[in-house]
């Protein structure tokens, strides 16, 4: 335990102020987390007003204090020293640097507002949103396999909705300091399963409806997407990293035709883009074109996965 002189002090004028939930976390716990991340090992939390902190606030402090020692002290003369925090300001900074075009300009603004609403419910956790997304995927498949044009339209809308909601659990986790390798792996697995189920169900719907080669085109997209995803999962697991499918994403200026082609494939194969594109084209009655575009992009993506994961010949390794 640090000395009285070296202890970091944060004060709140009342327990009510310290208990105030800011983006799903008590204000006092956020202040403690900030000090702990800055290297403080001994933190004094002064609370005025004569009331005790709520059990939820104490639980947040225990979860977020890391290895710091935290002492909660009643102080009738306490005046707030922690800067005022805004839930929206915190949530606004939960975006990911690798967001695609559709995610950055459409999905993320919607998902962050949903996150703001969900975090107003004290019991809400990221896993609840992840499971809701899985349920949404099941409804999507049923709608697509119903065989009607209305089912096809509903399935496309639900797929894009799942893409938007996919941001909420991650935003919640980052805003409330609940990120974990297990949670990220489950989220990635459900995302990929939703993608593949959508391709399978759309392909089956169009094959039954039209009875031509479009079913085989969709079937190839499903096969290439499944094998490519399994190869990426195998590689990530071999590297000891959490399950994720962003290993081939890269950002940078487009300096030539190669970079341009890669950027187009990366953009079109990202979930946010092709979910939105599919929904729009289904609404326009161009679902066959959408599936053909997806199959072509998936083919290029699959070839890149194979090339990127292929072992480098020993002679080239020696030369390098």
Mean pLDDT by 10 residues, the chain (320 residues): 65 94 95 94 92 94 95 91 88 87 92 96 94 96 94 96 95 95 89 94 96 95 93 79 57 64 71 92 96 91 82 48
CA torsion 190→184→125→87, rounded to 10°? -120
pLDDT value at position 1? 38
Enumerate the H helices of the chain as residue ranges: 15-19, 27-37, 55-64, 87-92, 101-102, 108-118, 126-145, 149-175, 181-210, 214-238, 257-269, 271-283, 287-309, 314-319
What's the sign of the alpha-carbon dihedral 119, 121, 127, 128?
negative
**pTM attached to this predicted model:** 0.86
In the chain, CATH 1.20.120.1760 sits at: 89-309
- Looking at residue 254, what is its pLDDT? 58
CATH class of the structural domain 89-309: mainly alpha
- Beta-carbon contacts of 4 under 8 Å, excluding residues fewer than 6 positions away, are none
| pLDDT at residue 126, rounded to an integer | 96
How high is the pLDDT of residue 246? Answer: 57
Contact between 91 and 22 (Cβ < 8 Å): no
């Amino acid at each position: 335990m640090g000395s009285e002189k070296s202890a970091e002090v944060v004060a709140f004028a009342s327990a009510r102020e310290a208990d105030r939930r800011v983006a799903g976390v008590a204000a006092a716990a956020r202040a403690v987390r900030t000090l702990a991340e800055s290297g403080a090992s001994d933190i004094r939390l002064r609370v005025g007003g004569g009331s005790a902190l709520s059990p939820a606030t104490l639980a947040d402090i225990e979860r977020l204090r890391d290895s710091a020692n935290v002492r909660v002290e009643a102080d009738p003369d306490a005046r707030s020293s922690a800067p005022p925090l805004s839930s929206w300001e915190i949530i606004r900074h939960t975006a990911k640097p690798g967001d695609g075009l559709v995610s950055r300009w459409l999905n993320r603004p919607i998902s962050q507002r949903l996150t703001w609403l969900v975090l107003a419910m004290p019991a809400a956790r990221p896993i609840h949103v992840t499971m809701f997304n899985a349920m949404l995927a099941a409804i999507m498949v049923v709608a697509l396999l119903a065989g009607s044009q209305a089912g096809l339209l509903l399935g496309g809308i639900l797929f894009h909705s799942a893409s938007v909601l996919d941001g909420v659990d991650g935003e919640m986790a980052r805003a409330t300091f609940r990120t974990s390798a297990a949670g990220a792996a489950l989220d990635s697995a459900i995302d990929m399963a939703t993608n593949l189920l959508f391709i399978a169900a759309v392909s089956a719907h169009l094959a039954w409806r039209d009875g031509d080669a479009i079913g085989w085109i969709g079937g190839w997209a499903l096969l290439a997407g499944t094998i490519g995803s399994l190869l990426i999962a195998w590689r990530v697991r071999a590297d000891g990293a959490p399950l994720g499918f962003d290993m081939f994403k890269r950002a940078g200026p487009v300096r030539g035709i190669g970079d341009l082609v890669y950027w187009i494939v990366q953009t079109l194969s990202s979930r946010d883009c092709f979910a939105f594109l599919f929904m729009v084209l289904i609404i326009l009655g161009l679902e066959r074109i959408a599936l053909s575009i997806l199959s072509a992009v998936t083919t290029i993506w699959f070839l890149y996965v194979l090339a990127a994961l292929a072992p480098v010949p020993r002679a080239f390794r020696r030369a390098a």
